[in-house]
Amino acid sequence: MSQEQLYSNVLVKIGVERSRLLNKEKIEQLANSNTLTELVSEFRSTIYGEKLSKLASPYSTADLERAFQENFIEVCIKLVKNSPEAVSAFLRTYLLKFEHENIKTILRAVSIGLPYDDIKNRLYLSVEKFLNRPEIILKAAMALQVNLVVDALQPTLYGPLLATGLQKYSEKGSTKCFDILLDKMFCEQIVKTFQEMPKQEQKLAFSYVSTKIDMFNIITILRCKLFGYDSHWIRMALSPNFYAISEKTIEAMLMAEDFQSAQEIVEKSHYANFFVTAESPEEIVWAAEKALKRELFEHARKTKIGNPFNVGAVLAFIIRKEIELYNLTVISLGITYGWKKDDILRRLFF
């Protein structure tokens, strides 16, 4: 079967979904809203209108963000189902990310004693239904203690990783260790499925994968320095893959005495421009994550794909959809906190 035939279905889906993306004029109109109620009303004629109409007032940013993400999940499921088998596993990682978020949510919620119904309402069960794993995820959500969550998920591919995290959790009393290890697993799944694609497809996804993995390693080291984790544990939490940053530089960051020392090392690397001066280490990391989003978005926006019958066309659309969700979440946050329109727009990607 030709590439044109393999990609015909997914490109039709992308064409439909691309027509539903919000243009700059609409985004700016949304940013003019004075309240979340007014914002929800502005969404009425958009692809998000149906999901937002099911929300009960008073609205919250978390409610709106969830509705945006549920729409994104629906779109990703369509694209994965209609993509060629050779690339569908790679694209499927976008859905696995939400399963990882489900597990993080369960661990965090159980650790602070939230009841089952509250936990269930926070999960993206549409992903679990697509992956055919809703029963075991819900079983984990019923657990009364973190170690019982780990026990419930032991038969899954997450079992060994969560057992490792449980050791650190017992020392620190924080579920952040699970977050870091799940993020590592997500990166490993990206790399594995990337390497399984045909070489020609790999070329079109390389920029996304290389930047994503390198920045994961950098940010993981910096975060772990803030949490006070030892270098042996941090090394275990890193991806073994390196692209535009050398293993030597990563090792130097790893062995650095503290956050500032590690930051000074990365500021001499290929990714120096991702890091800016800020009032706190946490803000430096947040700004770097935002810079990563901008880098991926700019690449997707500027890349001209002469032949759309490849994974590059699908990936470029998904990234644009992700950025739309980021913009909408920033707008809802800005309205909640009373930011001026100019302050909101300054934080958006166009």
Q: What percent of the chain has pLDDT over 90?
A: 91
Q: What percent of the chain has pLDDT over 70?
A: 99
Sign of CA dihedral 28, 29, 34, 37: negative
- Give the mean pLDDT of the chain: 94
The reported pLDDT for the residue numbered 307 is 80
CA 220 – CA 250 distance, rounded (Å)? 11
304 pLDDT more than 80: no
Q: What is the CATH number of domain 198-302?
A: 1.20.1690
The stretch 311-331 carries a mean pLDDT of 95
Instruction: Find, among 114, 92, 100, the residue nearest to 179 by Cα.
Output: 100
223-250, pLDDT tens digit by residue? 999 989 999 999 999 999 999 999 999 9
Alpha-helical (H) ranges within the chain are 3-19, 24-31, 36-42, 49-53, 61-82, 85-111, 116-121, 125-131, 134-141, 146-152, 159-172, 176-196, 199-227, 231-237, 247-255, 259-266, 281-302, 311-336, 341-346
The stretch 292-316 carries a mean pLDDT of 85
Q: Are 123 and 46 in contact (CB under 8 A)?
A: no
309 pLDDT more than 80: yes
| Identity of the residue numbered 50 | E
Scanning the structure block, which residue is given the tokens 């019982």?
A: 148
Tell me the domain boundaries of the chain: 198-302
119-166, pLDDT tens digit by residue? 999 999 999 999 999 999 999 999 999 999 999 999 999 999 999 999
Instruction: Find, among 167, 163, 164, 136, the residue nearest to 152 by Cα.
Output: 136
Total Cβ atoms within 10 A of residue 223: 20
Pair of tokens at residue 313: 């066309």
